[in-house]
Structure 1
Amino acid sequence: MAIQHMNEETGAAVADLIHLREEFIKTRLIFVKGDRMIRILKVLGATDADLDAMRTVSNSLRDDPTLPFRKSKNGRFCFDFEQSKLRRLEFQPFALSEEEDFVRHDSGQIRRFREIDEDLQGNTTLHALFIFKALIFHGVSFKQRPKLNYETENFICTLFNLRTVTNKDLIGEPALEGVHSDGVDFTMTTYLGSENMTSDSAETFIHDIREQNALRWNQTNPEYSLGRYQHRDYLDTLLFVDHEKKHSISPVYALDPKHPATRDVLIFFTRKPVVEGHISHPYDSLNPHQSLPFEIPLA
């Protein structure tokens, strides 16, 4: 009976994945509620223990290199579709430029983040999230960016674990840069949790690609508005084609101003490797990580 029940669960999750992929191909964006994600991720290998552990993984984050209201870590991975596996890549600095539709005080700066550790890398929920993203985007056609290598089947994914903090001295901005793109092919954001955050915080606004960069979320042209989404429940996930849309996010507000408010997310930036002339060309190694090796099958 247990095997039959599992088979039914697996079949339902596969059917749901097929539906989501079809929706993504059509609309170039999907927003998947957390309870739906949990059912899918468990079939993809996430354990109950790791689903619980993921809720608090952001407690180990460190100060961000350029934003005082943020805690952060990142890590680089390769969707190696040629060998049907995901693998960890060695540390590299990170940069986003105005040329990539990212206009902020640190645009073009070479930033060095603390690295994601085994507490996140070893969590089967993360593994299932990687597989989920691969199943949705692999083989989907999309608008290509300049200075990326579209001759290879593989993609580089820079994973960020971020905590945005609002306190009596700072307003936490999940997207201080205003309207922007992330300089990649596919962006996925997954919500891990929050504390003391108001119900109207951190709304994500999707804009037509014609919208002006760096505008605040509340200064944009309504004619260019393509929708709004809010990550409120554990594992709420948004996935979209980054170079076909822009987005902005409202601040994190504290429910009780006397205490800090926090918001924790994972962000999966996925793009082709860069070519010469791209700002990240010196920082786009495909070498494996030596001290934190990692590899899981994608099929």
Structure 2
Amino acid sequence: MQALSPGLRVDRSARLALQPLRIFAVQAHRLRSHHGLAEARAVPGDAGMPAPMQAATRRRRPQLDIREQACKPGFYDAISKIMKIRERYLWDRCVFVEGKGVFSLLKHIGARDQDFKTLRHVSNGLVGDPTLPFRKTRNGRFCLDFDKQTARRLEFQPFLLSVGEDFKRHDSDTVRRFDEIQDDLQLNTALQALMIFKAVMLYDVATRPRKNLDHGLNKWVCTLFSLRTVTTPDLLDEPALEGIHADGVDHTITTFLNSQNTSDDSAVTMLHSMGEKTGIRFNEAQPLNIRGRVQHLNYLDTLMVVDNERKHSLSPVHAVDSSQSATRDMLVFFTRKRVTKGHVSADVDSLVLHSELPMEIPIFVPKQS
């Protein structure tokens, strides 16, 4: 692990927090040139285009442009608050942010009011899962590029997690193919603001390196899962059927969207030291290995964990009315550096852009002096 002394952690976070005003003054021109972001904003003539061309133009146009927030005091207040949360993350290697606070941050980054409403119910469009009968899932891959300062959609690739990455389940090391996230989620400005929040949080955070990841690359691969887990009278929802585990990445972020008919003791997240045994159930954990306990209960409650330094587990989802189904909707972001030769995912980690579902937005990068 690349250790950070307490003094360095605090000093680095403090210096980063001073940069937002200067970044936009110095780098706005360069941001505008990346991948046609500025050109895609032009809308004259859209009305005269054929419908497929209109749709393509709308998709290319950035949905959330943080440069438009540059003159708004609320934006800088939000960035300052994110930097304070980031400081806690640097110290504790995990942080839980209540939904009300996340809502305020995303709104000041530029998320639209209507998009908060639609994001909460986006899971209604989910389909089946390739290996878990109690789950409906879509996923999509994105690149957080800190050189070009953009987040952009990557082409479809299959997905797998291995036992060697501290993930032990019946489908470990199995290549899984999920249905893809669509525009209803990726073009939602609340989701895009959440990506910007995540980018600020993880930028330049030193973590214990995983094997066969290119930690010298200034780009991150983010696999986003939109999930609905379901408990029925005949089927128990196990959000972490794999027991105590890690996700094979550098950073994991989980955001709560919605639930129906779930009991108050459902889906409690436990954080564990890396010395805890992988694969055992949450209630078999050694007390000395428990590092924290949180529960996503309110819209946008968000947990972020340095994945290779904390394992985690979840308790099952129980229904209040056992005769009816109980559902729980989440967004889960797995973020890591690109894999290198020898990694189990070496053949399914392309950085090629998605040709049919393009998305690209500028991201905020806190620069050091």
Report the TM-score, using the length of structure 2 for normalisation: 0.79
Q: SS where residue 259 of structure 1 aligns?
A: coil
AA paired with 2:135? R
Name structure 1 gaps, 5 residues minimum. Answer: 1-5
Please give the residue correspondences for 1:197-236 in structure 2 after superposition, counting only pairs within 5 Å.
197-236=262-301
Q: Percent identity?
A: 51
**1:73 and 2:146 matched:** no
Higher radius of gyration, 1 or 2: 2
Q: SS where residue 85 of structure 2 aligns?
A: helix
Aligned counterpart for 2:328 among listed residues 263, 275, 278: 263
AA paired with 2:81? D
AA paired with 1:85? T
Cα offset, 1:14, TM superposition: 2.4
Aligned counterpart for 2:240 among listed residues 175, 200, 203: 175
**1:286 and 2:351 matched:** yes
**1:276 and 2:341 matched:** yes
CA distance in 2, matches of 1:176, 1:296: 35
Q: SS where residue 267 of structure 1 aligns?
A: strand
Cα offset, 1:12, TM superposition: 3.1
Instruction: Give the match for residue 3 of structure 1.
Output: none
Aligned counterpart for 2:157 among listed residues 82, 92, 108: 92
Cα offset, 1:7, TM superposition: 4.6
Please give the residue correspondences for 1:1-299 in structure 2 after superposition, counting only pairs within 5 Å.
7-299=72-364
AA paired with 2:341? E
CA distance in 2, matches of 1:292, 1:45: 22
CA deviation string 1:30-83 (max 9, x = no partner): 100000000000011111100011011000000000000000000000001110
CA distance in 1, matches of 2:200, 2:187: 20
The count of residues paired between Structure 1 and Structure 2 equals 294
CA distance in 2, matches of 1:248, 1:280: 23
CA distance in 2, matches of 1:295, 1:110: 27
Name structure 2 gaps, 5 residues minimum. Answer: 1-70, 365-369
AA paired with 2:210? R
Cα offset, 1:88, TM superposition: 0.3
Q: SS where residue 180 of structure 2 aligns?
A: coil
CA distance in 1, matches of 2:112, 2:321: 34
CA distance in 1, matches of 2:198, 2:138: 20
Question: CA RMSD, aligned part only?
Answer: 0.9
Structure number having the greater strand percentage: 1
Structure number having the greater helix percentage: 2
CA distance in 2, matches of 1:151, 1:21: 21
AA paired with 2:357? L
Instruction: Give the match for residue 47 of structure 2.
Output: none
Q: SS where residue 282 of structure 1 aligns?
A: coil
Cα offset, 1:16, TM superposition: 1.1
Which aligned segments of 4 or more residues in structure 1 are displaced greater than 6 angstroms?
A: none
Q: SS where residue 37 of structure 1 aligns?
A: helix
Q: SS where residue 141 of structure 2 aligns?
A: strand
Cα offset, 1:11, TM superposition: 4.0
